[in-house]
């Protein structure tokens, strides 16, 4: 009786283990097959990864150095009134051009592809294109937020700066040359009541909703907006005399 | 005898449990290292990704070197007890340029959009053009001498187009400073470029390259009332 019980327990555990190992082997195989389908692609992937890591590291260093510079600048100007005024102006400019993190009252907008359709369920006369968020929709939202006096805007962590393009290649939307995808979280700092006005009845946002795109807008008392992590360029422009 | 058996069983069970745990951890690890974007990309896409990360790295590295140099310069001034005014002026000027507070000039393109008998230019045409110019690396843009910044709106109100709350009218002269070749070739891409798509819609567009495009400063105060810098610590 006892022996039978023990055998059962061990047997059961072994079966479980074998199943786990089999599943694991299978997923590994799948992962490997996509990764190593082509040797050239594989090494390219490595290079892309390395390039991205190198960029990430540099951006982190830059982040630290910028903080250090702000401190040194403050230190160097603290005993001189005209100098500390200039220092304050530089700080203000940095806020305007988007290379600092900002916070303040504002709104948050969630925009999401129609969750009720997919390429399988879409009707023959309809198109999936009608039910997804396009780059043009995001540009439109940024534009109306600006019209409502937004002081700073970010979409999925990407700060909208002077050089920001919102584009679509194939079905990939890029902001600041970084891939972003639905659901989109758009945050804006500014006068709440006026920002909320972008959701006019019968306006463009209602039109997006008519196609099944989900749009939710809410007031947020303390919106936090990321800084732009790239390098703003002034290679071709100089002060005009 | 019975006790020994029990010990054996318990130790086997224990080993099994540990094994299962290890396998589960392994599962997790496989899931996490899956960098989907990079994993599923095709060769051509990978090549563009690679060059885009490299360019971004170079830009960031350049900026890093600049920042380090500025820190050193400030420190040198401080240790020799000199005034840091010159350095400040330099930095202030650079940030003023980027913030659109100064008139700027440089090489670039001038695109003219005008209403014709059939088609009127609408705000969306200008928004698309500005976006294309930014994608091609424009550093400064203006529409009928109204500076286009990150906070600029371009809207249709009662049949007029407003830029920075000021009315602009046809012909819309859009100036951009940046690499001439990049800017003009991006706009003149066959079929998909801005000029072809506009022309196909029956709209009037002209573009010319210029060696010295002049773009005016933002006409107004740039101030933030609601946004404050996030303080550290």
**Every domain of chain B and the residues it spans:** 2-31, 47-98, 104-215
**Residue A145 and residue A201 in one domain:** yes
Helix (H, G, I), strand (E, B) or coil at A203: coil
Q: In chain A, which residue's Cα lies nearest the Cα of B81?
A: A76
Residue A36, pLDDT score: 46
**Residue A157 and residue A62 in one domain:** no
Partner-chain contact B35 A77, CB within 8 Å:
no
Residue B165, pLDDT score: 93
Nearest to A188 by CA among A211, A154, A156, A157: A154
Mean confidence (pLDDT) of chain B? 89
**Residue A114 and residue A175 in one domain:** yes
Tell me how long chain B is.
233
**Residue A112 and residue A91 in one domain:** no
Domain presence at residue A198? yes
pLDDT-derived band at B84 (thresholds 50, 70, 90) equals confident
Least confident of A40-49, A209-218, B61-70, B165-174: A40-49
pLDDT-derived band at B31 (thresholds 50, 70, 90) equals low
Instruction: Dump the DSSP string for B127-168.
Output: HHHHHHHHHTT-SEEEETTEEE-TT--EEEETTEEEETTEEE
**Residue A46 and residue A138 in one domain:** no
Q: Which of A14, A147, A161 sits opposite B153 (nearest CB)?
A: A147
Domain presence at residue A173? yes
Q: Which of residues 76-135 of B touch A (CB under 8 A)?
A: 77-78, 83-85, 87-89, 91-108, 123-124, 127-128, 131-132, 134-135
Domain presence at residue A171? yes
Domain presence at residue A192? yes
Higher-pLDDT residue of A241, B141: B141
Q: Which of B92, B107, B227 sits opposite A95 (nearest CB)?
A: B227
Domain presence at residue A159? yes
Contact predicate B213/B220, CB 8 Å: no
User: How large is the average pLDDT for residues B74-87?
Assistant: 81
Distance from CA of A100 to the nearest CA of B (A): 7
Mean confidence (pLDDT) of chain A? 88
Burial string for A142-171 (b: 16+ CB within 10 Å, else e) reads bbbbbbbbbbbbbbbebbbbbbbbbbeeee
Residue A194, pLDDT score: 96
Q: What is the pLDDT of residues B188-207, one digit of tens each?
A: 999 889 999 999 999 999 99
Residue B150, pLDDT score: 96
Residue A209, pLDDT score: 93
**Residue A73 and residue A139 in one domain:** no
Residue B70 has pLDDT above 80, yes or no: yes
Higher-pLDDT residue of A157, B40: A157
Residue B34, pLDDT score: 44
**Residue A107 and residue A176 in one domain:** yes
Partner-chain contact A62 B34, CB within 8 Å:
no
pLDDT-derived band at B29 (thresholds 50, 70, 90) equals low
Pairwise CA distance, residues B161 & B159, whole Å: 7
> In CATH, what number does B104-215 get?
3.30.70.1880
Least confident of A120-124, B17-21, B150-154, B168-172: A120-124
Pairwise CA distance, residues B229 & A225, whole Å: 10
Residue A29, pLDDT score: 59
Helix (H, G, I), strand (E, B) or coil at A182: coil
Nearest to A164 by CA among B215, A155, B84: A155
pTM metric for this prediction: 0.79
Residue B181, both tokens: 């070749």
Q: Give the domain-ending residue among A95, A117, A139.
A: A95
Domain presence at residue A117? yes
Under-70 pLDDT residues of chain A: 1-2, 25-38
User: What values do phi and psi take at B208, rounded to 5?
Assistant: -135, 150
Partner-chain contact A93 B99, CB within 8 Å:
yes
User: How large is the average pLDDT for residues B125-151?
Assistant: 97
**Contact residues, chain B, for A58 at CB < 8 Å:** 57, 60-61, 64
User: How large is the average pLDDT for residues B215-219?
Assistant: 95
**Residue A107 and residue A86 in one domain:** no
**Domain span holding position A56:** 40-95
**Residue A122 and residue A194 in one domain:** yes
Residue B20, pLDDT score: 78
Q: Which of A27, A77, A177 sits opposite B88 (nearest CB)?
A: A77
């Amino acid at each position: 009786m006892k022996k039978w019980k023990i055998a059962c327990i061990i047997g059961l555990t072994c079966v479980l283990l074998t199943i786990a190992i089999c599943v694991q082997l299978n997923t590994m195989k799948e992962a490997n097959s996509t990764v190593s389908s082509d040797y050239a692609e594989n090494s390219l992937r490595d290079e892309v990864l390395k390039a991205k890591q190198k960029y990430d590291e540099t951006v982190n260093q830059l982040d630290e150095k910028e903080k250090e510079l702000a401190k040194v600048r403050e230190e160097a100007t603290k005993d001189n009134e005209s100098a500390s005024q200039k220092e304050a102006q530089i700080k203000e400019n940095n806020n305007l051009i988007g290379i600092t993190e900002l916070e303040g009252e504002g709104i948050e907008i969630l925009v999401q592809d129609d969750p009720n359709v997919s390429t399988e369920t879409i009707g023959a006369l309809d198109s999936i294109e009608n039910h997804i968020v396009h780059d043009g929709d995001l540009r439109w939202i940024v534009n109306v937020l600006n019209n409502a006096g937004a002081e700073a805007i970010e979409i999925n962590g990407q700060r909208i700066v002077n050089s920001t393009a919102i584009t679509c290649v194939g079905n990939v939307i890029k902001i600041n040359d970084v891939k972003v995808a639905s659901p989109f979280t758009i945050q804006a700092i500014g006068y709440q009541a006026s920002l909320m006005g972008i959701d006019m009845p019968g306006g463009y946002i209602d039109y997006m909703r008519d196609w099944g795109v989900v749009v939710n807008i809410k007031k947020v008392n303390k919106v936090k907006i990321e800084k732009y992590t790239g390098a703003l360029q002034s290679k071709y422009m100089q002060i005009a005399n | 005898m019975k006790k020994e058996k029990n010990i054996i069983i318990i130790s086997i069970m224990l080993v099994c449990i540990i094994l299962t745990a290890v396998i589960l951890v392994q599962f997790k690890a496989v899931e996490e290292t899956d960098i989907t974007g990079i994993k599923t990309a095709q060769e051509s896409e990978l090549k563009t990704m690679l060059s885009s990360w490299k360019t971004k790295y170079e830009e960031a590295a350049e900026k890093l070197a600049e920042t380090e140099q500025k820190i050193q310069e400030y420190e040198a001034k401080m240790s020799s007890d000199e005034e840091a005014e010159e350095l400040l002026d330099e930095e202030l000027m650079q940030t003023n340029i980027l913030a659109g507070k100064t008139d700027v000039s440089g090489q670039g393109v001038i695109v003219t959009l005008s209403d014709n008998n059939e088609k009127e230019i609408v705000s969306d045409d200008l928004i698309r053009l500005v976006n294309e110019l930014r994608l091609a690396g424009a550093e400064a843009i203006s529409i009928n001498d109204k500076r286009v910044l990150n906070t600029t709106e371009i809207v249709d109100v009662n049949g007029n187009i407003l830029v920075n709350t000021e009315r602009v009218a046809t012909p819309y002269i859009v100036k951009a400073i940046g690499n001439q070749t990049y800017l003009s070739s991006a706009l003149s891409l066959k079929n998909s470029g801005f000029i072809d798509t506009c022309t196909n819609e029956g709209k009037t567009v002209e573009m010319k390259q210029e060696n010295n495009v002049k773009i005016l400063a933002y006409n107004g105060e740039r101030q933030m009332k609601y946004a404050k810098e996030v303080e550290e610590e």
